[in-house]
Structures are given as C-alpha cells and as structure tokens.
Chains A and B, each alone.
Chain A
Amino acid sequence: DAKTTQPPSMDCAEGRAANLPCNHSTISGNEYVYWYRQIHSQGPQYIIHGLKNNETNEMASLIITEDRKSSTLILPHATLRDTAVYYCIAGYSTLTFGKGTMLLVSP
C-alpha cells in the first residue's frame, strides 16, 4: 500500500463543510483511495472510495486530483456526530491504516 499523509487534527463548525486533505504521492496505478472513519473506539466505518474520478455518495464526496497524488474528503454539512478519526488509505485488497485525522465538529 502507498503511504498517505494527513493532518493530525482539524476543527469544523456544525453545519459547515468539512474538507479533509490527504497526500498519497506514491500511489500506484491499481491502488484505490479509500476513506474510513472511526467514532470513539468503535470499529471503522467505510465512507467512500475512488480510483480516478470524483465520487459522491449519501455520506460524502471524494475529490481526487488529476495526477492522483492527493485527494480531499468533503462532508458537506458536518454534524456533531461526524466527530471522529478519519483515515485515508491508498491500497487494493489489504488496507494500511495510518493515524488519520481527528475531526472535531463544534456547535
């Protein structure tokens, strides 16, 4: 799996968009970009993944740069329940979890 770099923590006001960046400059051609989150010691929860194109689902949007060296996860209207550690992973079948970004959503 390619190494990813994320900021250790970010803050966001409730109702605003949360934009979480991730660098994966060594990603290889067949590796996908995955985002998972972990709420307070629960098991990680899948959010979204993509290869080249931008992706959107009911939880979030994923923007991948054209050179695939970085990506941004967007939570369009963050709520207090979105407070969690967010993991960006570049891989295929087995996933390597780094330390992630601790997102704190405040009222």
Chain B
Amino acid sequence: NAGVTQTPKFRILKIGQSMTLQCTQDMNHNYMYWYRQDPGMGLKLIYYSVGAGITDKGEVPNGYNVSRSTTEDFPLRLELAAPSQTSVYFCASSYFYLGQQSPDTQYFGPGTRLTVL
C-alpha cells in the first residue's frame, strides 16, 4: 500500500513551458486535493475533486487545470508557467461518504518541488 505518490520530485521549468504533475493514490479514496506551499507559508488549496469526473476550484486556481478520469489519479496541469508558480506542490486524498460523522483525515504525498525560471 503506497498511499499517495507524486511525480516528479523536482522539476525546473522555463517561463511559458507547460507540465503535468502526477498524483496517484491506492487507498480507494473518493476525495483528492492539490495544494501549493510557498516558502515559510502554509498550504493553499488549488483544486479538489469529490470523485471521478467532478472537480472544483480552491483558493488559488488561476494558472492551473485538473481532471479526474479515475478514482486513483488526479493530475495537475500548469499551462504557460510563470515565476509566481515556483512552489512545492502537495497532493492529498481522503475518504468521505454522505452521513459520515466527519470528513476523514487527509493523507498527503511527499510533494513536488517546482522552480520556474
């Protein structure tokens, strides 16, 4: 049981390039999330998904796109990379069902460190 895995671990992009950050979970969780963390700051929610085919914006969605075609995968797409997108990106997942007393805990991946030059 690998939990939440993210690839790549590190990446350097030039301004204007595009890339996809991969996230996979093997816990059959229905909820998945993407966060970014700038130096010395807390995590900010970019996008989240409550199940396959359903996504919604978080606090800082501009410049990013997501899709959720399967339960396991939740890729994050950066189009036209900008220096402001230099950050560490974390993917997380959790399990929640209607009627559950409280949302289940979020499990985080190890992160992708992205630098845009």
A30-61 residues at the B interface, CB under 8 angstroms: 32, 34, 36, 41-46, 49, 51
Tell me which of B33, B35, B42, B107 has the highest count of chain A C-beta atoms within 10 A of its own C-beta: B42
Q: Which listed residue (B42, B44, B105, B110) contacts A42, Cβ 8 A?
A: B110
Chain B residues lying within 8 Å of A98, measured Cβ to Cβ, are: 42
User: Would you give the shortest CB distance from A12 to chain B, in whole angstroms?
Assistant: 21
Is B103 in contact with A42, judged by CB distance below 8 angstroms?
no
CA distance A96 to B33 in the complex (A): 12
B41 CB-CB contact with A under 8 Å: yes
Known: A92-B102, A92-B103, A96-B59. 16 other contacts (CB 8 A): A41-B111, A42-B110, A43-B109, A43-B111, A45-B108, A46-B105, A46-B106, A49-B102, A93-B96, A94-B48, A95-B106, A96-B45, A97-B35, A97-B44, A98-B42, A100-B42
B53 CB-CB contact with A under 8 Å: no
A85 to chain B: closest residue by CB: B42
Q: Mark A46-88, 1 if CB is under 8 A from B, else 0.
A: 1001010000000000000000000000000000000000010
Chain B residues lying within 8 Å of A36, measured Cβ to Cβ, are: 106
Q: Which listed residue (A42, A44, A46, A93) contacts B31, Cβ 8 A?
A: A93
Chain A residues lying within 8 Å of B59, measured Cβ to Cβ, are: 96
A-B contact pairs, 29 of them (CB 8 A): A32-B102, A34-B105, A36-B106, A41-B88, A41-B111, A42-B111, A43-B92, A43-B108, A43-B111, A44-B90, A44-B108, A45-B108, A46-B106, A49-B102, A51-B102, A87-B42, A92-B102, A92-B103, A93-B31, A93-B96, A94-B33, A95-B106, A96-B42, A96-B45, A97-B35, A97-B44, A98-B42, A99-B40, A99-B42
B48 to chain A: closest residue by CB: A94
Chain A residues lying within 8 Å of B111, measured Cβ to Cβ, are: 41-43
B91 to chain A: closest residue by CB: A43
User: Would you give the shortest CB distance from A51 to chain B, in whole angstroms?
Assistant: 7
